[in-house]
Structure 1
Amino acid sequence: MRVWVSGYRSYELGVFGTESTKLKILKKALSENLVQLLDEGMDWLITGAQLGTEQWAISVAHTLQSTYPALQTAVMLPFSDCGKNWNEANQTALALVRSQATFSAAITERPYHSVQQLRQYQQFMLTHTDRALFIYDSQAPGKVQYDIRAIEQWQTQHDYPLRLIDFDDLQETANNLAAEQENGLQAD
Structure 2
Amino acid sequence: MKILTVTGYKPMELNIFKQDDPRIAFIKFALEKQLIAMMEEGLEWVIISGQMGVELWAAEVVLDLKESYDIQLGIFPPFENQTSRWPENYQETYEELIMSADFVEPIYKGDYKGPYQFRAKNKWFVDKSDACLLIIDEEFPGSNKFFLSEAQKAEDYAIYMITPDDLDDAVTELQMSDPDYWS
The normalised TM-score by structure 1 is 0.92
Greater mean alpha carbon deviation, residues 109-118 or residues 52-61: 109-118
Report the equivalent of 1:105: 105
Report the equivalent of 2:56: 55
Amino acid of the structure 2 residue aligned with 1:171:
D
Using the TM superposition, give the Cα deviation of residue 81 of structure 1 relative to its aligned residue in structure 2, in angstroms.
Answer: 2.3
Amino acid of the structure 2 residue aligned with 1:40:
E
Report the equivalent of 1:168: 165
Using the TM superposition, give the Cα deviation of residue 129 of structure 1 relative to its aligned residue in structure 2, in angstroms.
Answer: 0.5
CA–CA separation in structure 1 for the residues paired with 2:98 and 2:151: 25
Note if 1:29 corresponds to 2:35: no
**What secondary structure, in the 3-state scheme, does the structure 1 residue paired with 2:6 have?**
strand
Note if 1:40 corresponds to 2:41: yes
Report the equivalent of 2:149: 149
1:71-98 deviation digits (Å, cap 9, x = unpaired): 1101110011211122322211210121
Using the TM superposition, give the Cα deviation of residue 40 of structure 1 relative to its aligned residue in structure 2, in angstroms.
Answer: 1.1
Q: Percent identity?
A: 26
Preserved contact between residue 58 and residue 100 of structure 1 (Cα < 8 Å): no
CA–CA separation in structure 2 for the residues paired with 1:71 and 1:139: 32
Amino acid of the structure 2 residue aligned with 1:65:
K
Report the equivalent of 1:140: 140
Preserved contact between residue 48 and residue 75 of structure 2 (Cα < 8 Å): yes
CA–CA separation in structure 2 for the residues paired with 1:73 and 1:186: 34
Cα distance 1:109–1:149, how it changes in 2: closer, same or farther (>3 A)?
Answer: same
CA–CA separation in structure 1 for the residues paired with 2:182 and 2:52: 37
Report the equivalent of 1:185: 180
Q: Which runs of 5+ in 2 are unaligned?
A: none
Question: Which runs of structure 1 show a deviation greater than 3 angstroms over 4 or more consecutive aligned residues?
Answer: none
Preserved contact between residue 2 and residue 131 of structure 1 (Cα < 8 Å): yes
Cα distance 1:186–1:153, how it changes in 2: closer, same or farther (>3 A)?
Answer: closer
**Aligned residues between the structures:** 182
CA–CA separation in structure 2 for the residues paired with 1:178 and 1:120: 40
1:131-167 deviation digits (Å, cap 9, x = unpaired): 010101112111111101111112xxx1011100000
CA–CA separation in structure 2 for the residues paired with 1:142 and 1:91: 22
Amino acid of the structure 1 residue aligned with 2:16:
V
Using the TM superposition, give the Cα deviation of residue 186 of structure 1 relative to its aligned residue in structure 2, in angstroms.
Answer: 7.2
CA–CA separation in structure 2 for the residues paired with 1:176 and 1:7: 22
Report the equivalent of 2:16: 15
